[in-house]
Amino acid sequence: MKFFQVLSNLPFFVVLILTIHCSKKTEYIPLTEPHSLIVYTSADFEIINLEDKKTPIKRFTNYRGVIEVEGVHRFIPQKDNDKELFYFQIKCLSEWKCPEEKAILSRGSFLMNPKFSYGENPSYGPNGYFIPQSSVKSAAETLNFLTQNDAEVPTSGFNKDVFKDWIKVNETTGEDSFVNLYYLFETWKNKTFDPESQKVLKRTHKSLKFLSEQTDPAEIESFIASHPIDPEILNEPKIQSAYVNFINRHLDTFFHIERSNKEISNQFETSAEIPYLQELAFQKIMESGEFVFDPLPPEEVVPNAETITLTKKNWTLTIKKPRQVQLKFGFVPNTEWIIKRIQSVPNEEFLSFKLIAENGNEFHVKSKQLPKVFDGAEKMKEFSATLPKKATEIIDQFASDSAKEAGVYLALKFGKGGYDPIKNQYEYSIDDPAIIHYYFKNNKIIKADKSEISGDLSYSIGDDYSTDTFDAWYQKYNKEKKEYTVFVNYTHSDCGCDCSINKSVDNQCWTAGEMIKIRFPGHAILNKDFSEARVEFEKPASFLCNEPLNE
C-alpha cells in the first residue's frame, strides 16, 4: 500500500499541530496500519529528538535493517520560500537510547528520488522502502536478493510489487544489476548454468556462485526447482531490454572503433565471453559484407563452393542460444547446421572465420573487403574533418546547447589520448589553458566577457532536503605569469525543522597547468547521444565545478 493511499484510507485520523521548540509548525499523522521502513542498502542518516524535532540523537553509517514506523510528521510551510517536508516517527531499538524509545528521521533520506513524484511511487526510494508490516518478510527478502551478493533466492517467494518498484527506480542507473539478473533468470529458465557468464558478472550472486560449483546437471535442476521464481518476474521486459541495450552498446563500440583486421579478430574472440555478443557481432558482419570459402568445404557438403560469393541473400544465421546458432545456405536446400563455435582466425589482409558445426563439418570463410558495418571509425574521421579548425569556434557553435557535446568535439580535435580497450571507451585530456579557460567561461550556465564571469545563479542541485546553489563564478589573473585561475562560490542548505545554510567560498576549479578530462563511448558521435559522455576538471575543489561542462 502506497503512502498517500494510507493517508486517504484514514477517515478518522487525528491531526496534532505542534509548535514546541521548533520554528515550523508540524502536523502529526498517525498510521492506522503498522508500517516499517526497510533500509535495504547501506545508508547514512541520523535520528532526531521527537520533542524538539531538531536535536540529533544518533548518527548511523552504512546501516541496513528494518525500522518500525508509527506515523508521519509534516513540517508545514510558513513562508513563501519554505519547503514542505516529511519525517517518519519511528520506534527506536533500546540501544539507540531515544527518549521514550521514539524519534524522527527524514523521509527524504530514503524516499526522495528526483525522478519520481510521491503520487506516482511514494513508498520506494534509492535505499529505503516504506511498506505495511504484513509484507515486510517477502519485501525484505526480495530487496536483499536484488541488492546483496550474499542473499538467497527469497524463500517466501518474490514480492512482485517490490520487484516492479525496484525496477522502476533503477531503470536508468542500474544496468549492471539488470544484466546480472538477466544471467540469473536465463539460468532459471533454461535450468542449466552457463559458466561463461561468470566472466562478465560484475556482481556474482550467491545462487550463481553455488550453481557454478555444481558438476551434476541434476543438482543444478534440483536447486532451481526448489527455489522457484515467478514466470512474470523471469520474463520482466525491462530486464530483457536492459540486456539488449548492454549488448548493443558493446556492438556499437566494437564496430565504431578504428582497428586493423588482426585487432578486430582479437576483439571478436574476447566477445565470446558475453553470451549472444559474438553471435550477434558475426551476424551483423556477415550481413554487411561479401565472403568466400577459403579453404573450400568438401564437394559433398557444398557443391561448386569455389564459384560462390556469400552475401546476406544466400546465407542466414539464426541465433538459438549462446554458442548455438543455426546456419543455412540458400544454395544447399533442405540442409542446416547447428554451429557450436565461431572462431576468428587472425589475418592482416582480411577477416577470416571458422564455423564449427556439431556434426563435425567446418566452414572457413574470408571477407572480400572490410564489411560496411566497420565504417563507423571512418565516419568519425570524416565527421572530425568537418569540425571548425579553431577551438573557440567549436565552443561558440556547440557549448551553449550542450557543453558535453562541445567537450567531445574538442577532444577529437585537440585532445591527447584515444580508445581504452579495457574501459571500452574513448578517453582524452586537454591541457591547453587558453582552450580550457574559454570553454569554462562559455556554456549553458556561464557567460563571460574578457574580464568578468556571470553564471546562472538560479542553477541548483539536490532536493527539498539538501540543496547546493551557485552564488558566483569568478576568476583571478596573475599578471606576472599571465595565467587565469577560476573559482566557484556556492551555498549548501539542509532543511528539517529549521534550515541550516552554509556558504562555501573560493573553491578552486582550475588553474593553468591543470587539464580537463573527457571520456565517451564509441557510438556517442555517430548516434548524437552524449548522455554517457563526461567532462571533468583534473583537480576541482568541489564537484560543482564540473557542472557547467556537463550540461
Peptide bond between residue 295 and the one before it cis (omega within 30 degrees of 0): yes
Q: What is the pLDDT of residue 384?
A: 86
Q: What is the pLDDT of residue 364?
A: 95
Q: What is the pLDDT of residue 118?
A: 32
Q: Phi/psi class of residue 157: alpha, beta or left (left: φ > 0; alpha: ψ in -120 to 50)?
A: left
Question: CB burial class (10 A; 0-12, 13-18, 19+) of residue 172?
Answer: exposed
Q: What is the pLDDT of residue 434?
A: 92
Q: What is the pLDDT of residue 117?
A: 31
What distance in Å separates the CA atoms of residue 24 and residue 160, rounded to the nearest whole number?
39
Cβ atoms 491, 468 nearer than 8 A:
yes
What distance in Å separates the CA atoms of residue 411 and residue 405, rounded to the nearest whole number?
10
Q: What is the dihedral of CA 15, 17, 20, 24, to 10 degrees?
A: 120
User: What string of H, E and C letters represents the secondary structure of 260-312?
Assistant: CHHHHHHHHHHHHHCCCHHHHHHHHHHHHCCEEECCCCCCCCCCCHHHCCECC
Task: Give 419's strand partners.
Answer: 426
Helix axes 237-256, 376-386, angle to 10 degrees: 70
Q: What is the dihedral of CA 519, 520, 522, 525, to 10 degrees?
A: -120
Q: How many helices (H) and strands (E) does the chain have?
A: 16, 22
Cβ atoms 291, 367 nearer than 8 A:
yes
Q: What is the pLDDT of residue 38?
A: 87
Question: CB burial class (10 A; 0-12, 13-18, 19+) of residue 299?
Answer: exposed
Q: What is the pLDDT of residue 63?
A: 86
How large is the C-alpha radius of gyration of the chain? Answer: 29
pLDDT tens, N- to C-terminus, the chain (551 residues): 333 333 333 332 333 333 334 556 778 888 878 888 888 777 788 898 998 888 889 988 888 889 998 888 887 766 666 667 778 899 999 999 999 999 998 776 665 443 333 333 346 666 788 888 888 888 888 888 888 777 778 877 788 888 888 887 777 666 778 888 888 888 888 888 877 776 666 666 788 778 888 888 898 889 888 888 888 888 888 888 888 888 887 887 778 766 778 888 888 888 877 878 889 999 999 998 999 999 999 999 999 999 999 999 999 988 877 778 899 999 999 899 999 999 999 888 889 999 999 999 999 999 998 888 887 777 778 888 899 999 999 999 998 888 899 999 999 999 999 877 667 788 999 999 999 988 888 877 776 655 556 555 556 676 666 778 878 888 888 888 888 898 888 888 766 555 678 888 999 999 999 999 999 987 788 778 898 899 999 999 988 888 888 87
Q: What is the pLDDT of residue 440?
A: 85
What distance in Å separates the CA atoms of residue 142 and residue 40, rounded to the nearest whole number?
10
- Please report, for residues 252, 299, 339, the alpha-carbon distance to residue 284 in angstroms, rounded to integers and kept in the order given: 11, 28, 16
Q: What is the pLDDT of residue 450?
A: 52
Q: What is the pLDDT of residue 228?
A: 84
Q: Please identify which residue in the block is written with the cell numbers 517477502.
A: 138
pLDDT digits (tens, 9 = 90+) for 205-225: 788 778 888 888 898 889 888
pLDDT digits (tens, 9 = 90+) for 67-123: 998 888 887 766 666 667 778 899 999 999 999 999 998 776 665 443 333 333 346
Question: CB burial class (10 A; 0-12, 13-18, 19+) of residue 197?
Answer: buried
What distance in Å separates the CA atoms of residue 37 and residue 474, rounded to the nearest whole number?
44
Phi, psi (5° rounding) for residue 132?
A: -55, 145
Q: What is the pLDDT of residue 521?
A: 82
Domain ranges of the chain: 24-193, 202-252, 256-371, 387-453+465-494+506-538
Q: What is the pLDDT of residue 277?
A: 87
